[in-house]
Amino acid sequence: MKEHDKVTREFIISEIKRIANRNGLTKLSYKKFKKETGISKYRLCYLFSSWNEAVKEAGLEVTDVSRINDETLFQELSDVISRLGKFPSGMEFTKISRFSLGVYEQHFGAGGAQKLVSRNGFVKETLPRPSSTCYTLDKPR
């Protein structure tokens, strides 16, 4: 039996409950779940239509990402870009940001982070290092 065959819907639900109970949580982020279990988003989405579906089935509160305003998402993306000195890859963004790329996609549609950047003004500028290019945010004036 392959290792991923052991990861069932029931196992994921029990892990969500275990982590939430141990930490006294009524909500659980995928980031915390991944850190504690190592279960990939790919495997999770193979078994559930979304992280929120798994959380709901475990009896926890689902985070309503529609309540996060554009400015908060813009600021988080700006902070990640400033920290890295460039526009992040999906993996870099996931490791650093408080929000997943899924939050941006739910909020703005496919390519959510890029759409947010386009809406708020996005300027490509050359860094001091030779032949190195990064993206910095420049709010419209």
pLDDT for the residue 117: 57
For 139, residues 6+ apart whose C-beta sits below 8 A from its C-beta are 120, 121
Quick one: which of 67, 80, 66 has its CA closest to 113?
Answer: 80
pLDDT tens digits, one per residue of 49-96 = 788 889 999 999 987 666 778 788 888 888 888 898 887 887 888 788
| CA 94 to each of CA 38, 66, 70: distance values in angstroms, whole numbers, following the listed order | 14, 19, 18
- Comparing 32 with 65, the larger pLDDT belongs to 32
106 pLDDT exceeds 80? Answer: no
The type of residue at 10 is E
**Coil/strand/helix, residue 138:** coil
pLDDT tens digits, one per residue of 3-30 = 556 889 999 999 999 999 999 999 898 8
pLDDT for the residue 20: 95
Q: Which two tokens stand for residue 127?
A: 């860094």
- Comparing 133 with 88, the larger pLDDT belongs to 88
Q: Which two tokens stand for residue 66?
A: 């529609």
Domain ranges of the chain: 3-57, 66-137
pLDDT for the residue 103: 78
Q: How far apart are CA 137 and CA 122, in angstroms?
A: 5
pLDDT for the residue 13: 96
- Record the pTM: 0.50
How many residues in total does the chain contain? 141
Task: Give the DSSP letter string of 22-38.
Answer: HHT-SS--HHHHHHHH-
Q: What is the mean pLDDT of residues 36-58?
A: 88
Q: What is the mean pLDDT of residues 27-38?
A: 90
Model confidence band, residue 37 (pLDDT cutoffs 50, 70, 90): very high
Class (C level, CATH) for 3-57: mainly alpha
Please answer whether residues 66 and 72 qualify as being in contact, where contact means their C-beta atoms are separated by less than 8 angstroms.
Answer: no
Q: Which two tokens stand for residue 50?
A: 């979304």
Please answer whether residues 123 and 136 qualify as being in contact, where contact means their C-beta atoms are separated by less than 8 angstroms.
Answer: yes
